[in-house]
Amino acid sequence: MGTFSGWTIPLMCSAFFQIPVKCLILLFLSRRGDTSFPRNEDGTLLYDNIDYKLTWAAMEKLVGKGLVRAIGLSNFNSRQIDDILSVASIKPTVLQVESHPYLAQVELLAHCRDRSLVMTAYSPLGSPDRAWKHPEEPVLLEEPAIAALAKKYNKTPAQIIIRWQTQRGVVTIPKSITQSRIKENIQVFDFTLEPEEMNQVTALHRGWRYIVPTITVDGKSVPRDAAHPHYPFNEPY
């Protein structure tokens, strides 16, 4: 169930199954079949083109059966969100998208707020441990404006970024396998950024996406999936 490529995946969140102790927080529906990345004969990725509204209807049935509590979206643009809302009998609770100071998502956040969707920011620290990191890409955790705020508040750059998101009402999901960082990342409730500092961080926006698979065409790095009919990032937001 779902449409292949990862761009059009409805996301089920807070899905609590009848399993003692364990709870499934997020279940992603993203592809069918046994092969993670099926390919055409010419080596290009084989896409599925299921209408995501049908996937949404299937997910609503899961809610109806009591298998999940809430369903939401990930990597949808504003038009796609409204597309779902136009058919949904159960509204999405959340939109999970990439967001950090270099990709502030101001318009999309306003769009979500107007429709009572919570925005969740994935890769909020710029995903510095990505295998496909490019040596020339901007390093968010080394941003001087963030470092200056970190110094002022005696916090780390990560804490400033998480506080900025939290203070503007965005849920963040920083990932860490390091105990000290996991603790650090939650210690963001004992200080408040000034309004002009909030604006200063938002102004760092440069439309930069860390999490877009790219391929090289004619020597240029281009988004791998831009030709997919449901690719969400060809539109402004």
Ligand X SMILES: NC(=O)c1ccc[n+]([C@@H]2O[C@H](COP(=O)([O-])OP(=O)(O)OC[C@H]3O[C@@H](n4cnc5c(N)ncnc54)[C@H](OP(=O)(O)O)[C@@H]3O)[C@@H](O)[C@H]2O)c1
Q: What is the closest distance, in whole angstroms, from the C-beta atom of residue 41 to ligand X in the complex?
A: 28
Sign of the torsion formed by the C-alpha atoms of 53, 56, 58 and 60: negative
Closest CA to 161 of 139, 179, 129, 188: 188
Q: C-alpha angle with apex 10: 158 to 76, nearest 5 degrees?
A: 65
Quick check: 5 binds ligand X (CB under 6 A)?
A: no
Part of the chain binding ligand X (CB under 6 A), chosen from 56-64, 109-117, 125-133, 214-222: 125-133
Quick check: 166 binds ligand X (CB under 6 A)?
A: no
State which residue, 90 or 141, has the beta carbon closest to ligand X: 141
Assess contact for 161 and 140: CB atoms under 8 A.
yes
Quick check: 117 binds ligand X (CB under 6 A)?
A: no
Tell me the two tokens of residue 58. Answer: 């299937």
Q: What is the closest distance, in whole angstroms, from the C-beta atom of residue 176 to ligand X in the complex?
A: 4
State which residue, 101 or 174, has the beta carbon closest to ligand X: 174
- Binds ligand X (CB under 6 A): choice among 166, 167, 176, 202: 176
Query: How many other C-beta atoms are found inside a 10 Å radius of the C-beta of residue 11?
Result: 23
Quick check: 181 binds ligand X (CB under 6 A)?
A: yes
Assess contact for 150 and 101: CB atoms under 8 A.
no
Binding positions for ligand X, rule: CB under 6 A? 74-75, 96, 122-129, 141, 156, 158, 173-178, 181, 184-185, 211
